[in-house]
Amino acid sequence: MTDPARIRRERDKAAKLKKSQWWHRLVNRGICHYCEKKFSPSELTMDHVVPLARGGSSTQGNLVPACRECNRDKKLETPVELILKREERSNDE
Ligand SMILES: [Zn+2]
């Protein structure tokens, strides 16, 4: 599943899809898949719902636009880490 060659291949596919009409339409709508807020196209990143490292692939069904905030949160492994991170953030404010 974590075969580096496969991941490289899937990344290439994602890069190609990024240039497609399909992706442009999604990004121009500007809605983050996770928080459903509106962003400008430059603020949205391409996100794999099932990460490549966990066997996800670069298909239209597995790729969604995500704002930077949501994309970063999802990289955390467990809900516990997510909660800790939120607490850190609120302490900073
Ligand atoms: Zn978001």
Domains and CATH numbers, the chain: 4-68 (1.10.30.50)
Q: How far is the CA of 64 from the centre of ligand 1 (A)?
A: 11
pLDDT bin (cut points 50, 70, 90) of residue 71 is confident
Q: What are phi and psi of 91, to 5 degrees?
A: -70, -30
The whole-number average pLDDT for the span 12-20 is 97
Contact 11, 52 (CB under 8 A): yes
Query: How far, in Å, CA of 14 to CA of 35, rounded?
Result: 22
pLDDT bin (cut points 50, 70, 90) of residue 42 is very high
Q: How far is the CA of 78 from the centre of ligand 1 (A)?
A: 18
Q: How far is the CA of 73 from the centre of ligand 1 (A)?
A: 9
pTM of the predicted structure, to 2 decimals = 0.75
